[in-house]
Amino acid sequence: MNARILIGGALLAVGAIVAGPAAPGAAGSTPQVAIENFRFTPSTLTVPTGTTVTWVNHDAEIHTVTSPAGAFASPALETDEKFSFTFNAPGIYAYFCALHPQMRSTVVVQ
């Protein structure tokens, strides 16, 4: 399972660079992170500074998107609810689900 997530993450990072949905200055580009089966997919998302990322909860369970450093914290997300955050500063943003903290992921902002 770990190998699959790593490959998935790598592919998405490549996709972001090549396909350019998150190209700098591209208006309205909002990469999505799916919350599904108690995982954030992709587990690592790399975006340019200024990007708005949207998380969508596909699970029956409630999840949150919480930065332990305090950079952002979603409300409790029911099924199909969304949360968006605009990353205006570069950095590596680790986040987790406050209800199920074994769910961990990262947004890399360059």
Partner 1 sequence: MDMDRRGFLECMAWVGTGVVWTAAGGVLSSRTLAQAAETPAGGDFGFVQISDTHIGFKGEANKDVAATLGEAIARINALPTRPAFVLHTGDLTHAQKPGAFDAVAEMLKSVKTERVFYVPGENDVFLDGGKEYLARYGKGTVGGKGWQSFDHRGVHFIGLVNVESYKANGLGSLGAEQLEWLEDDVRKLSSSTPVVVFTHVPLWAVYAKWGWATDDSEQALGYLKRFGSVTVLNGHIHQVLQKVEGNVAFHTAMSTAFPQPAPGSAPSPGPLKVGDDRVRTLLGLREVRYIQGRGPLAVVDSTLA
Please count the residues of this chain forming the interface with partner 1, following the rule CB under 8 A: 21
Burial 39-67 (b: 16+ CB within 10 A, else e): bbbbbbbbbbebbebebbbebeebbbbbe
If binding is defined by CB under 8 A, does position 87 make contact with partner 1?
no
If the CB atoms of residues 22 and 77 are measured against partner 1, the closer one turns out to be: 77
If binding is defined by CB under 8 A, does position 98 make contact with partner 1?
yes
If the CB atoms of residues 20 and 68 are measured against partner 1, the closer one turns out to be: 68
CA dist 45 and 63 (Å) reads 18
CA dist 86 and 61 (Å) reads 25
What does DSSP say about strands 39-41 and 32-36: parallel, antiparallel, or unpaired? antiparallel
Instruction: Find the binding residues for partner 1 in span 29-68 (CB under 8 A).
Output: 37-39, 59-62, 64, 68
If the CB atoms of residues 37 and 49 are measured against partner 1, the closer one turns out to be: 37
Binding site residues, partner 1, CB under 8 A: 37-39, 59-62, 64, 68, 75-76, 94-96, 98-104
